[in-house]
Amino acid sequence: MTQCFDTPLPPPRERRRLREKGSLTQAQLAARLGVSRETVRAWETGRSTPSGRKRDSYAKLLAGLADERPPEVTAPQKAESAPELTTGPDETGEPPTPDPASGPEPGPDSDSVTTALAPAPAPTATATATATATPPSPLSPPLTPAQAFDALYAFCAPALVRQTYLLTGRRELARESVERAFQAAWQRWPEVAVDPDPPSWVRATAYEYALSPWHRFRPRHRHPEPPPADASDRALLDVLLTLPPSYRRTLLLYDGVGLGLPETAAETEASTPAAANRLLHARAAVAARLPELAEPRELHSRLAETASTERLRAAKPPAVRSDGERRARYWTRAAIAITVAIIGATALTLRSAPTRYEPPVPPGETVRGVPPRTAPGPLSAAELALRAKLRAEAANGPERLLPELR
């Protein structure tokens, strides 16, 4: 009996350090290994670990970087400011399929196709703010929080609006969801700026707001919006809207955005087997209505085309920041007003409350042992009638009989 051991790998922080030491971007490293940029980012953050031949190739590549022999770059360097989504077959020539037992095997895996559905992920807010693949000069001043936020918004907002449109089928709700998500990010910017993946933080917030069930009670959401002009786009959007929200979100993240199965499960707050089952059922529902989209690659392309054909323009970053600050001031003032009202009501209650205890008057009870009244009381109607009768018959009554003595 033989026992196989996996190739050892350095810790996630060391993997990223070795990649930066070799002056490689995540896209270049992904092109060398034949995986997606999302997969490389997941390996460097520790959210997933490679296995099989990819693990061996990754270990050899890191070993070469540790020996100061950076690998030769075969893919051109891409500017991170351009929104893109990559897809393609894996090493076996077949499209990737979700397998809950296989662990962290990602979705689409090559840089051959770029679409306007998902932006390229950024590991940190500072890297996102630069929006270029060229590292900044050491003498350049650091970005201010507003500049970093504006760069993150310009980097993620256009693609995120298109994703949210596929998720809800409403243009105004898609724009509103993205704006609310970025307003929440600006209010919590110290937390979001140090997050390992700020785009994922904003995307999860936008999806949660877009799928909120409370929108159905809003007057303007009671009427449907005009459908897409193209018949095929209308058919695809109708199929997506018939899916449950959790299935729709899983399908969009995996087949649309291109996240791996573990990342999709983490973002939807589900286990990996549950996310795989949702994905399989969603694909089956789409294939039953649209057989030409049974292939994952075709479904990915159609999702990107449907989202890119609509005119979905996001607001400007300064406007989003100002609206977020205005909303924060409004709710802060409302909270202060409610607090003052509660304090005033409490003070009035304390002022008008009695200072000593006054027991309540008990209800009347029957008192026993008291003698009856001796004085005559008022006569009733029957007694008055009897008295009148007796007085009337006393003069006209029969003669009295008196006994005689003998």
Provide mean pLDDT across the span 214-220.
Answer: 84
How would residue 373 be classed by pLDDT, with cut points 50, 70 and 90?
A: low
pLDDT digits (tens, 9 = 90+) for 32-43: 888 888 888 888
Q: Which residue has the tokens 């003070």?
A: 347
Average pLDDT, the chain: 78
Yes or no: say if 124 and 196 are a contact pair by the CB < 8 Å rule: yes
Provide mean pLDDT across the span 125-153.
Answer: 63
Name which residue leads in pLDDT, 117 or 54.
Answer: 54
Alpha helices in 81-196 (DSSP H): 125-130, 145-168, 171-187, 189-193
Provide mean pLDDT across the span 389-395.
Answer: 72
Asked whether the predicted pLDDT for residue 112 surpasses 50, the reply is no
Asked whether the predicted pLDDT for residue 186 surpasses 70, the reply is yes
Provide mean pLDDT across the span 82-98.
Answer: 37
Name which residue leads in pLDDT, 405 or 301.
Answer: 301
Query: Which amino acid, 212?
Result: S
Name which residue leads in pLDDT, 124 or 163.
Answer: 163
Asked whether the predicted pLDDT for residue 303 surpasses 50, the reply is yes
- Cα–Cα distance, 38 to 40 (Å, whole number): 6
Q: Which domains does the chain have, with CATH numbers?
A: 1-77 (1.10.260.40), 106-130+144-315 (no CATH)
Query: Which amino acid, 365?
Result: E
Query: Which amino acid, 74?
Result: T
- Cα–Cα distance, 315 to 317 (Å, whole number): 7
How would residue 205 be classed by pLDDT, with cut points 50, 70 and 90?
A: very high
Asked whether the predicted pLDDT for residue 145 surpasses 50, the reply is yes
In angstroms, how far is the first alpha carbon of the chain from the final one?
Answer: 155
Residue 378 has which token pair?
A: 């008022």
Query: Which amino acid, 186?
Result: W
- Cα–Cα distance, 50 to 263 (Å, whole number): 14
Asked whether the predicted pLDDT for residue 281 surpasses 70, the reply is yes
246: left (phi over 0), alpha (psi -120 to 50) or beta: alpha
Q: Nearest to residue 109, comparing CAs of 319, 259, 329?
A: 259
Compute the C-alpha angle 308/315/253, nearest 5°: 45
The pLDDT of residue 68: 59
